[in-house]
């Protein structure tokens, strides 16, 4: 398996991890809405995953940039820019005192990221299979 095949295999695995992370976020937000978890516990649980999720996605995007996979890089760049903007504005962590006021926005963001990672997963899977087929010729 060549470099492109390994890159997209790594991308498929990373997309799966990011996909499950967003599912976890959505489940936790639903638990808060149903009052199964209190806001402090929710924020403590989710805040430990916020930066690793953003860093993992940025690292994957950097791998695409360095390997010359321009389409994959350009598809991921807007979300990386959005994440960097959130970090620079210091509103990337969840605040227990404001979580009920901002819950709908957080849920919408999580659903959008879930959809993005789902589409990305299948695109990376397609590109991995394409790289493996073109390698065997």
> Which pLDDT tens digits describe the chain residue by residue (137 residues)?
678 889 999 999 999 999 999 999 999 999 988 888 889 999 999 999 999 999 999 999 999 999 999 999 999 999 999 999 999 999 889 988 888 898 899 999 999 999 999 999 999 999 999 998 887 76
| Close Cβ partners of 37 (under 8 Å, ≥ 6 residues apart) | 28, 31
The answer to whether the CB of 18 falls within 8 A of the CB of 56 is yes
Closest Cα to residue 107, out of 29, 15, 14, 21?
29
The answer to whether the CB of 73 falls within 8 A of the CB of 64 is yes
Cα separation, 77 vs 4, in Å, equals 19
Phi then psi for residue 5, to 5 deg, are -65, -45
The answer to whether the CB of 63 falls within 8 A of the CB of 10 is yes
Helices (H), the chain: 3-33, 39-67, 70-88, 103-136
Cα separation, 84 vs 68, in Å, equals 22
pTM above 0.85, yes or no: yes
């Amino acid at each position: 398996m060549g470099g492109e095949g390994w890159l997209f295999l790594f991308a498929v695995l990373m997309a799966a991890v990011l996909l499950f992370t967003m599912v976890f976020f959505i489940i936790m937000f639903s638990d808060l809405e149903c009052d199964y978890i209190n806001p402090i516990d929710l924020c403590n649980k989710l805040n430990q995953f916020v930066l690793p999720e953003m860093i993992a996605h940025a690292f994957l995007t950097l791998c695409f940039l360095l390997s010359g996979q321009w389409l994959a890089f350009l598809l991921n760049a807007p979300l990386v820019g959005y994440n960097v903007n959130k970090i620079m504005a210091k509103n990337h962590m969840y605040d227990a005192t404001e979580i009920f006021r901002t819950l709908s926005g957080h849920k919408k963001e999580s659903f959008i990221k879930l959809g993005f990672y789902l589409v990305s997963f299948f695109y990376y899977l397609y590109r991995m299979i394409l790289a493996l087929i073109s390698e065997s010729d």
